[in-house]
Amino acid sequence: MIEAPVIETERLMLRPHRADDLEAYAAFMAADRAHYIGGPYSRDDTWDTLMAGAGEWVLSGHGAWAVEARHDGALAGRVNLSQPDKNPEPELGWAVFDGFEGQGIAFEAACAARESGFRTLGHDRSVSYIYPDNDRSTRFAERIGARPGPGAPAPEPEEGHLSCLVYVHHRGEMA
């Protein structure tokens, strides 16, 4: 069964998701700030997303990783390179769970996931779709070297949601 490859960075281990990742991920997805990613989401919806992010590796050769702190194995977040069927390009996404923010974890994990996409999948670019009011994420995207991509297609918005800004990550021009 094809699954997420384990990637180790200085402080983190990116690994395949496990069923017991649900607790921490569901807490993140149920919180108010999840409205920046189209939420908040129920525990059931989060479980579906967890399954889809694992299964996508078989379908597309990319998908989601759990992000674990190497020193104690705590689940700190999640990164993914995902391309749902209707999306025009593979998307780099990141989530840092409560209690792990402000430590550069998103930076370290997102760079590792993006690099893996470029190296092993041969992608020349990936994108991040970010709601225009999500200042924190647009700033973060800029910090890791992504730039707004005028002309880059955004996915059709879900009903009742804003259209996203498209930030483009180009191979070889990264932070």
Partner 1 sequence: MTDPVLHTERLTMRLPEAVDAGLYTEFFADAEGSGNYGGPLRPDQAWRMLAQDIGHWHLKGFGKWILELRATGQTIGGCGLVHPEGWPSHELTWWLLHSARGKGYATEASRAAIAYGYETLGWEVVETHMRDHNVPARSIAKRLGGEIDRRETFPDGVTRDIFRLPRRAEMAAS
Helices (H), 87-150: 105-121, 135-143
Q: Any contact of residue 23 with partner 1 (CB under 8 A)? A: no
Cβ pair 89, 125 in contact under 8 A: yes
Nearer CB in complex with partner 1: 78/141: 78
Task: Candidates 27, 31, 52, 152: give the one binding partner 1 (CB under 8 A).
Answer: 52
Task: Candidates 17, 114, 123, 125: give the one binding partner 1 (CB under 8 A).
Answer: 17
Classify residue 72 by burial, with Cβ atoms within 10 Å: 0-12, 13-18, 19+: exposed
Nearer CB in complex with partner 1: 53/149: 53
Q: Any contact of residue 44 with partner 1 (CB under 8 A)? A: yes
Helices (H), 125-175: 135-143
Q: Any contact of residue 10 with partner 1 (CB under 8 A)? A: no
Minimum distance, C-beta of residue 48 to partner 1, in the bound complex (Å): 6
Q: Any contact of residue 50 with partner 1 (CB under 8 A)? A: yes
Spell 2-16 as b/e; 16+ CB within 10 A means b.
eebeebebeebbbbb
